[in-house]
Amino acid sequence: MLDIIILNHGTEEATERCLAALLALVPAETRILVLDNGSPGDDARQLAAFVAQHQGRIRFWTSLKNLGFAGGMNLLIAQALADPAVDQVLLLNSDTVPQPGFITAMRARLDPDTHTDMVAARMIRADGTADSLGIALYRSTLASNRKREDEILLGPSGGCTLLTRRLLEDLRAAHGAWFDEDFFCYAEDTDLVLRARWLGYRAAYAADALVHHEGSLSSGGPENDFVLYHGIRNSLWWLVKDAPTGWLLRSLPWFFALHGGIWLRHLRRGRARVLWRLYRDAIKGIPTMRRKRGVIRKTRRVPAGEFAKWVEPHFYERGYVRRAWRELWRGKST
């Protein structure tokens, strides 16, 4: 049995579009679990009214505070797994419109014999270009949305992820958590995928599972201080928590090149204050991440040398450095 779980935070209209698309696609026995995650305004009331029109097909919860993506998803995963009949959980962003056949295509890629227990979909933008084909981890030490099918798949992104009960229960037993709530949002999916990989699970990509994605609606768009702060801070945290020492040491030149570029780019944008805050808080969180690293190392089922096979050999998304350089010196948008 499959449960689909969705968070809403200030995206009520998009969430209703997503739910309407799902209701037209999934069988009646598939449960849809929705949490209003501390939305401002009237989102919770309006979503409750929508859900009331579809009783029996959608279950709805509200949280007075924003639990972040990690905390909100953990709440819904717990609700899903409370039913012993549920053996698969699909995480879906509220600003998506899934297309016919996407669930069947994702489920077809699961393979218990090879421990392929997590599947990524093909998420595309309104213009048809790739938004996310899962997560890619680049040589620069930064993980991001995978945009090309010829890049190495680390695992599915949180925007559309199919996970098995076996994997979720194993993660909880080994590490005490599904998503790490210290991350709040951004890169928590990278952390979960890496922990699953260390436990011996594999990821697959369903190219025929099509999902339209608007992107970053609940956080106010990709180019703001909130996204910069959480995205970079958490990318530093998962390195401390999940990456093997040997790979980290070999990657230091690329790491410093990456973060030098981040400082140069955002200082020119007048974002010195948020840069200072995110690196300060990343450093403050290192002791906590090191303690979690110890737990992950003790439960690891694959050798540390496997990690390098999960890394895309390119520095970052192809063409990104050139676009960022043009933006920096010529004022052109990326």
Mean pLDDT within 113-142: 95
Which of 147, 182, 213 is the endpoint of a domain? 213
What pLDDT sits at residue 334?
38
Residue with tokens 């819904």: 76
Domain count, the chain: 2
Mean predicted lDDT score pLDDT of the chain: 92
Is residue 134 situated within a structural domain?
A: yes
Rounded Cα distance, 98 and 133, in Å: 14
Whether 25 and 172 map to the same domain: the answer is yes
Whether 32 and 117 map to the same domain: the answer is yes
135-163 pLDDT per residue, tens: 999 999 999 999 999 999 999 999 999 99
Whether 198 and 268 map to the same domain: the answer is no
Mean pLDDT within 278-303: 97
Whether 14 and 121 map to the same domain: the answer is yes
Which of 213, 243, 260 is the endpoint of a domain? 213
Contacts of 214 (CB under 8 A, 6+ apart): 14, 95, 96, 126
Is residue 312 situated within a structural domain?
A: no
Q: pLDDT > 90: what percent of the chain?
A: 85
Is residue 313 situated within a structural domain?
A: no
Lowest-pLDDT range of 106-115, 160-169, 219-228: 219-228
| CATH number (domain holding residue 181) | 3.90.550.10
pLDDT at 321 over 80: no
For 161-172, give the DSSP string: EEEEHHHHHHHH
188-210 pLDDT per residue, tens: 999 999 999 999 999 999 999 99
Whether 116 and 137 map to the same domain: the answer is yes
Whether 176 and 235 map to the same domain: the answer is no
165-188 pLDDT per residue, tens: 999 999 999 999 999 999 999 999
Lowest-pLDDT range of 16-25, 46-55, 222-231: 222-231
Is residue 220 situated within a structural domain?
A: no
Mean pLDDT within 7-24: 95
- Enclosing domain of residue 109: 2-213
Is residue 56 situated within a structural domain?
A: yes
Whether 100 and 137 map to the same domain: the answer is yes
**Phi, psi (degrees; rounded to nearest 5) at 59:** -110, 140
Whether 154 and 271 map to the same domain: the answer is no
Rounded Cα distance, 242 and 152, in Å: 18
Residues 129 and 163 sit within 8 Å (Cβ to Cβ): no
What pLDDT sits at residue 265?
86
Q: What is the largest CA-CA distance in the chain?
A: 57
71-95 pLDDT per residue, tens: 999 999 999 999 999 999 999 999 9
Residue with tokens 């499959």: 2
Whether 153 and 282 map to the same domain: the answer is no
Rounded Cα distance, 172 and 169, in Å: 5
Whether 149 and 209 map to the same domain: the answer is yes
Residues 204 and 309 sit within 8 Å (Cβ to Cβ): no
